[in-house]
Chains A and B, each alone.
Chain A
Amino acid sequence: MSAFNAIGEEREVERDEYTPGIEPQATWCPGCGDFGVLKALKGAMADLGKDPEEILLATGIGCSGKLSSYFESYGLHTIHGRALPIARAAKLANPDLEVVAAGGDGDGYGIGGNHFMHTARENHDMTYIVFNNEIFGLTKGQTSPTSPKGHKSKTQPHGSAKSPIRPLSLALTSGASYVARTAAVNPNQAQEILVEAIEHDGFAHIDFLTQCPTWNKDAKQYVPYIDVQQDDDYEFDVSDREEAARMMQKTEASLYEGEVLTGRFYHEADRPSYGEEKRQVGEMPDEPLAERYHDDDYEWERSYDLLDAHK
């Protein structure tokens, strides 16, 4: 147990403890897929018995970014696309924290694409949820990096000439050690996947399909879906990188043709997280760095001794 915080106390946690005194309806429209993410996250955290005080939920900007307002924990509502670098430093500073980052498809795959790639590459021990509704919601319906080719919006009135980004493949090639896709329309699967992702010791990326009934008119855009783990037609080994890559390509190619495949696509269980790797090369202390500042017995080094090299 840490010297300065409450992390580590095990107890039963009720779902309601993650509900703050503020209603999501403030931002999210009726029928919005974002409610599904919130519900699944509460369920997963309760399943795992996580105390709200040990969770740091960092979010980006947009409808998805409001998740930290509607989920009771330590919250960090940051800047567009930058939740990941902020969250990963908090995890390095205090590895006892349960760090979850969340953002939208514009936030995570557009403006924050560079951070996504690098956070996955470093395999930080955290969970990253991307609310993917294929549209910019809070700015009122512009084309996003996951909008299908030909998608028409006020900013691309002739139809987008761009192919959509392939988030699962991108996560895998970048180095994420856990990659899954789930959908708000399947709350049970979503919760299960979240539990697995949070427990996973490494970078867990979840492309979370969320319908946008306001700007992507078809509120049922992800129904029907197929759970790849429960369907014999899609047999593959989630720990095999090549098989996972093949399945991801299949999913990403068929998403816009009505065949929505969800489930776990890649799970590399034995790869050490970035913090662990850093500890092994002597670049990170064994105890949480943040604790040092509360430890009266800790002896702080002075530059006085380092100055010898300058004499």
Chain B
Amino acid sequence: MSEELVWRIAGGSGDGIDSTSQNFTKALMRSGLHVFTHRHYPSRIRGGHTYVEIRASPEPVRSRGDGYNFLLALGDSFARNPQEEAYYGTEEIKPLTENLDDLREGGVIVYDEGLIDVEDVPDFEARVEENDWHVYPLDLRSLAREKGREVMRNTAGVGATGALLEYDLGHIEDLMADAMSGEVLETNLEILEAAYQQVDDLEFSHDLRMPEGSHDSEQVLLSGSNAIAYGALDEGCRFISGYPMTPWTEVFTLMAQHLPEVGGISEQVEDEIAAAALALGASHAGVKAMSGSSGGGFALMSEPLGLAEMTETPVVLVEAMRAGPSTGMPTKPEQADLEHVLYTSQGDSNRVVLAPGNVREAYEQTRTAFQLAYDYQLPAIVLYDQKLSGELRNVDESFFDREPNADLGATLSEDEIAEAAHHASGKFQRFKHDPGENGVSPRSLPGQKGGRFLATGNEHTPEGHISEDPDNRVAQLERRMRKLEAIREELDGREESHQTLHAPVEDADYGILTFGSQQGTVEEAVDRLAADGHSVKSLGVSEMMPLAEAEVTAFLESVEEALVVEMNGSAQFRGLIQKELGRFGPKMNSLLKYNGNPFEPAEVVEGFETIVDGDEPAPTTRFVPAAGD
């Protein structure tokens, strides 16, 4: 009996790999297991190698782990030329050739012999023997064809999986009944059952079985993008504007689907400049608004972003990073837009940037982003990446049980406006020089009596008139900058920190620093290192602007040396820490990865051992020693 199952389903894009795996993940969660998925797909609509990995365990799962132990290789049905039944290149056998390297020793392989000929897979027999793999060829394609349609071989594969792992298919059947009806449902259920029976009659040579677990409370299965959308909805966001771009589209789609249901407005517009401009316009008129994009689209937003800073208009922007520069690799994760998001647009940056480290944080920090944006009247950006965007994870439903927040922050009622400061001409002093400690001048909303002002991207006087007066400039700029200090103080004073310390060893000698989606992977690596006797802890940082100075400083002061783990080639996060704190250069080593795949725990372990034992880092990563070394 194994502790965990890591099930990988592989095939061609468009073969239903994603939907099948989502259903299976949900079924596993309903059976009482903790789940975590990892998605790998090419930038193609149909065909091309794609896989989804589901890690399921009785214990909470934080990352995809290293390797997997069950492969369902469905074949790439779109690799065939429909006229000649010929295959393009080696696409046909990729579900096997591209996946075998990560399959653990003793693992199980089910492949569709209706689509894949193992004769074409180099050294297949030898590798099977060498790694003690257990292979079950099944003609899933014919089975699906006979009973229904070829595309239903996914269902057959899941049925076969159930039998091989001695897993009750009840939850799968329930989910199918929710998703389909009539003849389609009947056929799928029939195929599921037939595949199960066909395999059940075989002699098994493997020991792998479905692990058993139970949950104390009701669970929901969410991706990072889902969590951001729900965080926004709960925080009272009722306006979204966007332009489709992978992977930001996942937030946009969910919001567009639900906003009209809850009385909100969703707008798909002509480009990302317009998208950010609309969010700004809606917010200016008194609605909680959001927009977002991925790297290239966010680049277009830099002008409206600057306008939001100058006019002190609250707005939340989401940036879902993918590999760049330019179009880069549209479906592959990277964390190389950090500096872009921190500093894009002209002038001194005056914005909040939060980078959640997992699904729960994605929800919470989206809410925080709205609170800060509206309380302090500036843009707040939720920065995450393609990995967190697409990974599914189970979360206690009770985690979400909280009240929506309709508070627009420092916004005056008409009665309050009547009492507020006005210019001799009758204009409301929207941008009052000295409103108080936190630098926030309360605002009026268009339509309110007595609240007239001009909002302009030019430097302006308290009532909004354009001005290049040096004293006014200094007063306005310093007031705007003061907001960031106030936000830093507020965040530091919160009961729950947004930084995630993971310290299995107290007073550890070594530290690993990371940000965003790599947090869980690093934590798993730290556990392994600690189990091996290493004195190490980690800190996943989420507050990038203003930077979580006190916590990062305390962490770095407490260790002899640190490893900074991030998915880019220029050590942007380490650079930010050095820039903001002005020290620790000699203490920080970098472990970088930028091949389009996120870190795996073993790579972080090897990177860490490079510092301690002088070992070589994993070949997929790059180690940059500390400035002091």
Contact = CB atoms under 8 A, between A and B. Distances in A.
A6 B454 CA distance: 18
Contacts of A96: 447
Contacts of B271: 114
A223 interface: no
Of A66, A72, A290, the most chain B CB neighbours within 10 A belong to: A290
A107 B48 CA distance: 44
B404 A300 contact: yes
A97 B274 contact: no
Contact of B280 (A89, A282, A298): A89
A15 interface: no
B453 interface: yes
A300 B455 contact: no
Contacts of A79: 277, 303-304, 306-307, 457
Of A72, A76, A94, the most chain B CB neighbours within 10 A belong to: A76
A290 B264 CA distance: 10
A118 B269 contact: yes
Nearest to B219: A311
Given A89-B279, A93-B287, A310-B222, A282 B274 contact: no
B221 A310 contact: yes
A299 to B, nearest CB: 9
Contacts of B404: 300-302
B457 A85 contact: no
Interface in B402-457: 402-404, 406, 408, 413-414, 423-425, 427, 445-457
A166 interface: no
A75 B455 contact: yes
Given A89-B279, A89-B285, A293-B406, A97 B447 contact: yes
B285 A307 contact: no
A16 B448 CA distance: 20
B395 to A, nearest CB: 9
Contact of B264 (A7, A52, A289): A289
B303 A82 contact: yes
B286 A86 contact: no
B458 to A, nearest CB: 7
A303 B230 contact: yes
Contact of B282 (A74, A82, A93): A93
Contact of A94 (B270, B278, B285): B285
B465 interface: yes
A302 B227 CA distance: 13
A211 interface: no
Interface string A38-76: 000000000000001110101001000010110011111
A4 B445 contact: yes
Contacts of B267: 89, 92
A93 B285 contact: yes
A94 B286 contact: yes
Interface in B253-309: 258, 260-267, 269-271, 273-275, 277-289, 303-304, 306-307
Contacts of A78: 277, 307, 457
Interface residues of A, number: 62
A115 B30 CA distance: 48
Nearest to B234: A303
A289 B408 CA distance: 13
A97 B226 CA distance: 34
B386 to A, nearest CB: 20
B193 to A, nearest CB: 25
Contacts of B278: 85-86, 88-89
Contacts of A310: 220-222, 226
Given A77-B454, A293-B286, A89 B406 contact: no
Contacts of A298: 406
Contacts, number: 226
B286 A303 contact: no
Contacts of A2: 447
A180 B214 CA distance: 70
Interface string A285-305: 100011011100010111110
A5 B448 contact: yes
A301 B277 contact: no
Contact of A307 (B220, B266, B270, B458): B220
Contact of B285 (A97, A114, A117, A300): A97
Given A6-B414, A78-B307, A92-B282, A289 B449 contact: no
Interface stretch (B135-143, B235-243, B575-583): B235-243
A21 B425 contact: yes
A87 interface: yes
B304 A82 contact: yes
B286 to A, nearest CB: 4
A310 B390 CA distance: 14
B256 to A, nearest CB: 9
B425 A20 contact: yes
B397 interface: yes
Interface in A84-136: 85-94, 96-97, 114-115, 117-118
A283 interface: yes
A290 B269 contact: no
A306 B363 CA distance: 14
B604 to A, nearest CB: 30
Contact of A290 (B270, B279, B285, B414): B285
Contacts of A115: 270, 274
B612 interface: no
Contacts of B474: none
A294 B263 CA distance: 15
A89 B234 contact: no
A294 B281 CA distance: 18
A304 B402 CA distance: 8
A89 B445 contact: no
B516 interface: no
7 contacts: A4-B414, A68-B454, A86-B284, A89-B267, A97-B446, A97-B447, A300-B262
Given A5-B448, A302-B233, 17 more contacts: A52-B452, A61-B457, A74-B452, A77-B458, A89-B277, A90-B284, A91-B285, A92-B267, A93-B287, A94-B286, A97-B285, A114-B271, A283-B266, A292-B263, A300-B262, A301-B262, A301-B404
Interface of A: 2, 4-7, 20-22, 52-54, 56, 58, 61, 66, 68-69, 72-79, 82, 85-94, 96-97, 114-115, 117-118, 278, 282-285, 289-290, 292-294, 298, 300-304, 306-307, 310-311
List the 3 shortest-distance A-B pairs measured between CB atoms, nearest first.
A89-B281, A21-B425, A6-B449
